[in-house]
């Protein structure tokens, strides 16, 4: 149970933050074992597995519903998780290379996997991108704010660490009131990957962020569950043909209504432009089976199921999530995977959906989860 409390906290740099109202579940007073000496860092282009520096002391993670309070941490160079309409992000000042490095460390993220920079206003993109081609302008006009990330040539003023050393930069303007208020209060662009430990599903609630990152980041801005539940669509607009590098909430059909030339990245060199695909995406602990109908779910009381149709009468699986439609399925999937891991289910059965519209992104995540 969360309790309301006034308290002061110390930042990783030792500054004292003024006391203010925060909601502190009792779990936030303890620090994960993984922070003990010996923690491994994955920072820098070489993504070495060796510890690069002595581990930082555990950070006290403050929970707050206030975007202005959360912004004070970010402005001091610390890490703040915040909600967006897709999933929660783990933010740092995009123009402060030291702060950005801490994101990689807190997540255990390989240093060559680039981060998306979040803005409060489309005008901020001009300070992040060296140029903004006409297709990018048209997509911004149509989808900013919204769940679309555009990959553009990186402005030299943006530290290379943000984009894992690439000459490009991903930018996005979230369509979420609390995120916008936070970004506004930060007064600077915010680099933010999804706020999960590497290898875990993207978090769709602040509680999931807390589960992964408490004791590693300064602050969590508490919003409700995110609306979409899947991540933004990533479109590379640096070449003559805009390429979807990651399927997401904005569908190819919607993109093509604005820029008909948009294509999905398919070939090896095209996919190589999306560093995220080089890394193993989240897969739950239990094996994931993709099925066409729930009649394929075996009578196993330790199994779990998610899909659009109910499982036929018989022994019920340990977890069974029946979604109203594809949107609802997308909204619930990552939370379902977390519950499967927490529960230690024996196997996970996920019903396939047609790979069009939002179904394309949903099938992408299901296929990645099922890949071993």
Binding site for ligand TXA (CB under 6 A): 84, 86-87, 89, 113-116, 147, 149, 151, 163, 166, 168-170, 172, 192-194, 231-232, 234, 245-246, 273-276
* CA–CA dist 19, 66 (Å, integer): 13
- Choose the binding region for Mg ion from 133-141, 176-184, 189-197, 232-240 (rule: CB under 5 A): 189-197
Q: Which is nearer to Mg ion, 311 or 366 (CB)?
A: 366
Structural tokens at position 75: 């402005």
Closest distance of CB 231 from ligand TXA, Å: 4
Torsions phi, psi of 349, nearest 5?
-115, 120
Give the integer Cα–Cα distance in Å for 353 and 366: 10
Q: Does 232 bind Mg ion (CB under 5 A)?
A: no
Q: How far is the CB of 331 from ligand TXA (least distance, A)?
A: 13
Angle (CA) 246 247 249, round 5°: 125
192 binds, among ligand TXA, Mg ion, none (CB under 5 to 8 A by kind): ligand TXA
Residue nearest to ligand TXA (CB): 276
How many helices (H) and strands (E) the chain has is answered by: 9, 17
Closer residue to ligand TXA, CB minimum distance, 158 or 311: 158
Verify binding: residue 113, Mg ion, rule CB under 5 A.
no
Partner interacting with residue 307 (select from Mg ion, ligand TXA, none; CB below 5-8 Å by kind): none
Q: How far is CA 138 from CA 135, 167, 175, in A?
A: 5, 22, 17
CA 288/CA 349 separation, integer angstroms: 6
Cis peptide bond upstream of 156, omega within 30:
no
Our finding on whether 84 is near Mg ion (CB under 5 A) is no
Q: Which of 9, 194, 226, 232 binds Mg ion (CB under 5 A)?
A: 194
CA distance 185 to 44: 29
Q: Which does 89 bind (CB under 5 to 8 A by kind): ligand TXA, Mg ion, none?
A: ligand TXA
Which entry of Mg ion, ligand TXA, none binds 91, CB below 5 to 8 A by partner kind? none
Binders of Mg ion among residues 146 to 185 (CB under 5 A) are none
Choice between 21 and 371, CB closer to ligand TXA: 371
Residue placing its CB nearer to ligand TXA in the complex, 61 or 149? 149
How far is 12 from 244, CA to CA, in rounded Å?
Answer: 38
Residue 219 CA to chain centroid, in angstroms? 16
CB of 202 to ligand TXA, least distance (A): 6
Distance of CA 183 to the CA centre of its chain: 16
Task: Give the phi and the psi of residue 310 in degrees, each rounded to 5.
Answer: -70, 155
Residue whose Cβ sits closest to Mg ion: 194
- Smallest distance from the beta carbon of 86 to ligand TXA, in angstroms? 3
Instruction: Check if the beta carbon of residue 275 is closer than 8 Å to that of residue 257.
Output: no
Q: Decide: is 86 part of the binding site for Mg ion (CB under 5 A).
A: no
End-to-end CA distance of the chain: 37
Minimum distance, C-beta of residue 193 to Mg ion, in the bound complex (Å): 5
When the beta carbons of 172 and 210 are compared against ligand TXA, the nearer one is 172
- Which of 22, 169 has the CB closer to ligand TXA? 169
Strand, coil or helix: 50: coil
User: Where does this chain touch Mg ion (CB under 5 A) — which range of 116-124, 135-143, 190-198, 303-311?
Assistant: 190-198
Residue closer to ligand TXA, measured from CB, 245 or 345:
245
Residue 305 backbone phi and psi in degrees, to 5: -140, 140
The answer to whether the beta carbons of residues 325 and 312 sit under 8 Å apart is no
Three-state SS for 243?
strand
Any bridge partners for residue 170, and if so which? 116, 151
Query: 167 or 325: whose CB is closer to ligand TXA?
Result: 167
Which CB sits closer to ligand TXA, 128 or 288?
Answer: 128
Residue 327 binding Mg ion, by CB under 5 A: no
Q: Is 226 in the site for Mg ion (CB under 5 A)?
A: no
Binding site for Mg ion (CB under 5 A): 194
């Amino acid at each position: 149970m969360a309790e309301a409390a006034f308290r002061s906290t110390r930042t990783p740099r030792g500054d004292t933050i003024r006391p203010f109202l925060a909601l502190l579940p009792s779990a936030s007073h303890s620090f994960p074992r993984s922070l003990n000496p010996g923690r491994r860092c994955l920072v820098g282009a070489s993504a070495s597995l060796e510890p690069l520096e002595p581990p930082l002391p555990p950070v006290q993670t403050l929970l707050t519903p206030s975007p202005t309070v959360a912004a004070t941490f970010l402005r001091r160079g610390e890490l703040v998780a915040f909600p967006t309409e897709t999933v929660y992000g783990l933010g740092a000042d995009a123009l402060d290379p030291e702060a950005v490095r801490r994101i990689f460390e807190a997540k255990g993220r390989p240093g060559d996997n680039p981060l998306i920079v979040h803005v409060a206003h489309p005008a901020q993109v001009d300070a992040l991108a060296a140029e903004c081609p006409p297709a990018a302008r048209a997509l911004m006009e149509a989808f900013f704010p919204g769940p679309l990330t555009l990959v553009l040539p990186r402005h030299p003023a943006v530290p290379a660490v943000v984009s894992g050393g690439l000459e490009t930069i991903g930018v996005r303007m979230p369509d979420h009131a609390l995120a916008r208020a936070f970004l506004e209060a930060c007064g600077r662009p915010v680099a933010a990957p999804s706020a999960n430990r590497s290898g875990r599903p993207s978090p769709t609630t602040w509680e999931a962020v807390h589960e992964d990152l408490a004791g590693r980041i300064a602050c969590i801005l508490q919003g409700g569950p995110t609306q979409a539940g899947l991540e933004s669509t990533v479109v590379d607009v640096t070449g003559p043909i805009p390429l979807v590098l990651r399927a997401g909430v904005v569908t190819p059909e919607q993109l093509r209504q604005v820029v008909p030339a948009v294509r999905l990245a398919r070939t090896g060199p095209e996919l190589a432009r999306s560093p995220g695909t080089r890394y193993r995406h989240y897969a739950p602990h239990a094996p994931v089976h993709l099925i066409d109908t729930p009649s394929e779910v075996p009578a196993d009381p330790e199994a779990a199921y998610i899909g659009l149709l109910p499982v036929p009468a018989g022994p019920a699986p340990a977890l069974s999530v029946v979604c109203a439609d594809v949107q609802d399925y997308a909204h619930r999937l990552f939370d379902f995977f977390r519950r499967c891991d927490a529960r230690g289910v024996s196997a996970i059965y996920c019903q396939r959906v047609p790979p069009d519209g939002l179904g394309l992104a949903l099938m992408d995540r299901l296929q990645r989860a099922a890949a071993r």
